[in-house]
Amino acid sequence: MLFNSFAFALFLPVVFALYWGVFRGLRARNLLLIAAGFLFYGWWDWRFLLLLLATSLTDYFVALAMGRTSDPARRKVLLGISLAGNLGTLGVFKYFDFFSRSLADALHGLGFAHDPLLLHVVLPVGISFYTFQALSYTIDVHRGRIAPVREADTFLAFVSFFPQLCAGPIERASHMLPQFQTPRLFSAQQATDGLRQMLWGFFKKIVIADNCSRVVDEVFDASGSLPAPVLVLGAVLFAFQIYCDFGGYSDIAIGCARLFGFELMRNFAFPYFSRDIGEFWRRWHISLSSWFRDYLYIPLGGSRGGRGMAVRNTFIIFLVSGFWHGANWTFLAWGLLNALYFLPLLLTGRNRANLDVVAEGRYWPTVSELARMLITFALACIAWVFFRAADIGQAFAYLGRMAGGLWHAEGRAGTLDFLRDHLGFMPAAACLALLVLAEWWQRTRQHALQDLAFARPLRWALYIGLVLLIVFVGDHAEQQFIYFQF
């Protein structure tokens, strides 16, 4: 079920009313959330509910078995079962065909004819998210950081919690499980702020991301014949498309969870105001970046073995992060490029600079801060071309054509023609400017509508204005969220 669908507009108030008005006890509410989560997920394809259930029950019983033994060897075997189950499932559904095709291509290059064995399976929505969330539980139980949960319904509610089931944030068991084990009381303040964050998320998704997607698709599909300035525009619009699409989903998920008394971790912290790539990655998809830090980078040794180990582990993290996003060489190239961006900061010891909020206490950034933000944004846009391109060849051709023709005067006419043909995008472009200004103004907050210091009539005028923009400027084709395919 999509957040931006008529079905969800009916689903959410019904679940909300049952949760607070009918189901009273802790266990009853958890069972309702399980039913809601399975209905929400099964709306897309009910057959994959079996996969979600199998993943959940495997990790539940593995953790219980860990809790009954103190033998390190046994506990390692049990953890191996969880890792094999989760990563094996992910491998079959997401990577099997990719590796099979890559092997066939390699053999063909060596002169051997080989037809790849392909499964042609549909990638289950959210599989990369809920498998990593479940893994955080078994790994933490193995490390002794948390005790295994004995109530199966509590664990199922944790894995299948519908606001963040399909695209995160990827929650830690140590953060979320206690919330499912504690009675929840309705908070009007918490719910109201959740609605504000949801409104901002819908604005980002429906008005900005979905309108940008139409232009971006057109630019990338015809990139071989468009002038360089249009290609630059396409790369910039994709940067905002993916941010507003995924960041919008996160805002809706976090706000929705607050309606039910839950606090999810923050997933985006206005990343395009970053002053270097290190800061960007502390602000972009925070739940995944911190997951890789806690469960891969630090276990590999982190930076404890000196600069060489830190460089090695950094490249591993970025490459694995790229591969997590999809079975395509473009994602590996995207991860590698970000690792190369990060390398100078690591070698100079500046990878932990800029931990504060840019221009904190001031209305505007300094010239130096603005220049660094623009450079970081430009680097991110270049990397996003690899992320969006159909294959490596298209990515390099896109960047080559963009760089080679940027200063040629003959591209101006084609650029003007393109802009003239897309005058209908201008209202969305104005909304994009509004988004940048609003998030800059609220950059010290959790989201752009939090703690607005306006009089109540002005606040309500803003909320109504955003609703009207969603209705009249938004794209209402119920476009799928980009990260559903990951």
Residue ending a domain, among 184, 217, 245, is: 184
Cα separation, 244 vs 452, whole angstroms? 21
Same domain, 125 and 224: no
- pLDDT, one tens digit per residue, over 184-219 is 999 999 999 999 999 999 999 999 999 999 999 999
* Distance of alpha carbon 316 from alpha carbon 313, whole angstroms: 5
Handedness of CA 205, 208, 214, 218 (dihedral sign): negative
Looking at the fold, whether 152 and 200 belong to one and the same domain comes out as no
Segment (H or E) for 482? none
Pairwise CA distance, residues 60 & 148, whole Å: 8
pLDDT score for 306: 84
Say if residues 395 and 389 touch (Cβ distance below 8 Å).
yes
pLDDT, mean of residues 271-276: 98
Q: 401 with 417, same domain?
A: yes
pLDDT in tens, 159-183: 999 999 998 899 999 999 999 999 9
Residue 366 has pLDDT above 90, yes or no: yes
CB 376 within 8 A of CB 271: no
The Cα–Cα gap between 319 and 335 comes to 5
* pLDDT interval class at 482 (50, 70, 90): confident
195 falls within a domain: yes
Give a yes or no: residue 329 inside a domain.
no
> Is 60 found in the same domain as 117?
yes
pLDDT over 90 (residue 101): no
Among 142, 285, 325, 447, which one carries the catalytic annotation? 325
Q: What is the pLDDT of residues 316-326, one digit of tens each?
A: 999 999 999 98
201: containing domain? 190-275+354-485
Q: What's the mean per-residue pLDDT of the chain?
A: 93
Give catalytic status of residue 285 as yes or no: no
Name the one residue in this structure whose structure tokens are 């940027």. Answer: 406
Give a yes or no: residue 73 inside a domain. Answer: yes
Residue 118 falls within a domain, yes or no? Answer: yes
Q: Is 165 within a domain?
A: yes
Q: Where are the beta strands (DSSP E) in 298-372?
A: none
Residue 85 and residue 62: Cα distance in Å, rounded?
A: 11
Please give the pLDDT value at position 143.
95
Whether 131 and 170 have beta carbons less than 8 Å apart is answered as no
Same domain, 194 and 73: no
How many structural domains comprise the chain?
2
Question: Within this chain, do residues 76 and 91 fall inside the same structural domain, yes or no?
Answer: yes
Over residues 429-443, mean pLDDT: 97
pLDDT band at 120; cut points 50, 70, 90: confident
At 470 the three-state DSSP class reads helix
User: What pLDDT shows up at residue 408?
Assistant: 62
pLDDT tier, 54 (very low <50, low <70, confident <90, very high otherwise):
very high
Given this model, what pLDDT does residue 172 score?
Answer: 93
Give the tokens for residue 267: 């997933």
Tokens of 392: 């490596």
Contact 250, 267 (CB under 8 A): yes
Listing DSSP states for 214-265 in one string gives HHHHHHHHTTTTS-HHHHHHHHHHHHHHHHHHHHHHHHHHHHHHHHTT--PP
DSSP category for residue 450? T
Verify that 162 and 242 share a domain, yes or no. Answer: no
Same domain (yes/no): 172, 210? no
Helix (H) or strand (E) holding 66: helix 49-67
Whether residues 24 and 108 share a domain: the answer is: yes
Would you say the pTM of this structure is higher than 0.75? yes
The domain boundary residue, chosen from 129, 157, 184: 184
Q: How far is CA 250 from CA 44, 125, 134, 273, in A?
A: 19, 16, 19, 18
230 occurs within a structural domain = yes
pLDDT at 327: 84
Q: Are residues 219 and 88 in the same domain?
A: no
The per-residue pLDDT for 82 is: 96
82 touches 135 (CB < 8 A): yes
Percentage of the chain lying above the pLDDT 90 cut:
80
Q: Which two tokens stand for residue 344?
A: 């100078």
State the Cα–Cα distance between residues 398 and 236, nearest whole angstrom: 13
Q: How confident is the model at residue 406 (pLDDT cuts 50, 70, 90)?
A: low
Q: Could you tell me if 196 and 173 lie in one domain? A: no
Task: Average the pLDDT over 400-428 and give the result.
Answer: 82
Residue 431 domain flag: yes
Q: Which of 129, 149, 184 is the last residue of a domain?
A: 184
The answer to whether residues 10 and 104 belong to one domain is yes
Category of 270 on φ-ψ map: left (φ > 0), alpha (ψ -120 to 50) or beta: left
Q: Nearest to residue 238, comparing CAs of 89, 442, 398, 368?
A: 398
Domain membership flag for residue 323: no
